[in-house]
Homo-oligomer: A and B are copies of this chain.
């Protein structure tokens, strides 16, 4: 039996740990493993490379992905999928493991619907994949963001200043919401909820009157850009806010324990799924157990946010 593995979409810390787990588990079970370079782009152009146990030595602790990743808009077309299927046939691949987030798993589903045996592994720093409590990369991204905001807080406190910190999350505020709780943000703004700049202005004034030395807004990029938000705050209330856009540093770096652990579990489990010929599922986690979510469900459902976290925050910013 011969399987292929690829990483797709935005890179996420822990992807390498998943590639290692897939590769070694498959070899342990007597399969051959091919790595596909550059995600679906390399699947279409046929960039395959044989993977041995030593090829994945010491990648467990590295950020990014040794298999590389790339955008591949052509893949969503009928022609793109056919080119991919042709490559998979040419290299005599019996099953494919796709490590990536929502967009990538839609691609997995397209291949699956064409009848090709595919297993997905939920990996994205956004943690927005339906049906799984967490995804590979989320914990590292959170810790990166928390570490950066801890540093910014030193300056905010020293200068008794308002800071607007923009974190990743084009469509969703899951990262912003969790990160905001963990840094003790005074205000969390996410796309899933409207915000009122007047109320925020009142809260800022109130907090400084309480003797707090800083006011930190954690803002998901999808809710508003930091610069725009700060401009509005200035206009409405005359309050000046410094801004910081965390950007790409959130997605890199050595994966945390959680992401290595999740990635290792997901990787081993995906090969077990292949052994059992159970295809068309995304490997995720629920209740601390690995679960298998039908690709169709992932493609058609939206992961809800945990509304209770707003309740929590209310108690803490006093």
What is A's interface to B at a CB cutoff of 8 Å? 7, 10-11, 13, 20-21, 24-25, 27-29, 38, 53-54, 57-58, 60-65, 68-70, 133, 139, 142-144, 146-148, 150-155, 157-160, 163, 178-179, 181-184, 210-213, 242-254, 256-258, 260-261, 264-265, 268, 286-288, 312, 314-316, 318
Task: Output the least CB separation between A248 and chain B (Å).
Answer: 5
Question: Are B212 and A57 within 8 A (Cβ)?
Answer: yes
Q: Which residues from B are CB-within-8-Å of A151?
A: 63, 144, 248-253
Question: Are A253 and B70 within 8 A (Cβ)?
Answer: no
A158 vs B8: C-alpha distance in the bound complex, in angstroms? 10
Give the residue of B54, B57, B152, B257 whose beta carbon is less than 8 angstroms from that of A252.
Answer: B152
Beyond A11-B155, A312-B265, whether A257 also contacts B160 by CB under 8 A is: no
Q: Which residues from B are CB-within-8-Å of A265?
A: 312
Give the residue of B144, B261, B287 whose beta carbon is less than 8 angstroms from that of A182.
Answer: B261
Task: Output the least CB separation between A183 and chain B (Å).
Answer: 7
Q: Can you list 26 residue pairs at the A/B interface with Cβ under 8 Å?
A: A10-B155, A11-B154, A25-B315, A27-B318, A29-B315, A54-B211, A54-B212, A57-B212, A57-B213, A61-B184, A63-B151, A64-B155, A70-B160, A133-B288, A142-B257, A143-B257, A151-B250, A155-B251, A163-B248, A181-B261, A182-B257, A245-B247, A258-B258, A268-B312, A268-B316, A287-B287
A57's nearest neighbour on chain B, judged by CB, is: B212
Residue with the greatest number of chain B CB neighbours at <10 A, chosen from A142, A183, A258: A258
A61 vs B10: C-alpha distance in the bound complex, in angstroms? 22
Task: Output the least CB separation between A151 and chain B (Å).
Answer: 3
Task: Output the least CB separation between A268 and chain B (Å).
Answer: 5
Give the residue of B182, B249, B288 whose beta carbon is less than 8 angstroms from that of A152.
Answer: B249
A184's nearest neighbour on chain B, judged by CB, is: B60
Q: Which residues from B are CB-within-8-Å of A183?
A: 60-61
A181 vs B182: C-alpha distance in the bound complex, in angstroms? 26
Question: Are A25 and B316 within 8 A (Cβ)?
Answer: yes
A53 vs B307: C-alpha distance in the bound complex, in angstroms? 24
Residue with the greatest number of chain B CB neighbours at <10 A, chosen from A146, A154, A157: A154
Residue with the greatest number of chain B CB neighbours at <10 A, chosen from A11, A24, A64, A251: A64
Give the residue of B68, B155, B163, B256 whose beta carbon is less than 8 angstroms from that of A143.
Answer: B256
Task: Output the least CB separation between A246 and chain B (Å).
Answer: 8
Task: Output the least CB separation between A307 and chain B (Å).
Answer: 14
Task: Output the least CB separation between A242 and chain B (Å).
Answer: 7
Q: Which residues from B are CB-within-8-Å of A27?
A: 318
Question: Are B257 and A21 within 8 A (Cβ)?
Answer: no
A145's nearest neighbour on chain B, judged by CB, is: B257
Residue with the greatest number of chain B CB neighbours at <10 A, chosen from A13, A29, A155, A252: A155
Q: Which residues from B are CB-within-8-Å of A150?
A: 61, 252-254
Question: Are B318 and A24 within 8 A (Cβ)?
Answer: yes
Question: Are A158 and B60 within 8 A (Cβ)?
Answer: no
A153's nearest neighbour on chain B, judged by CB, is: B252
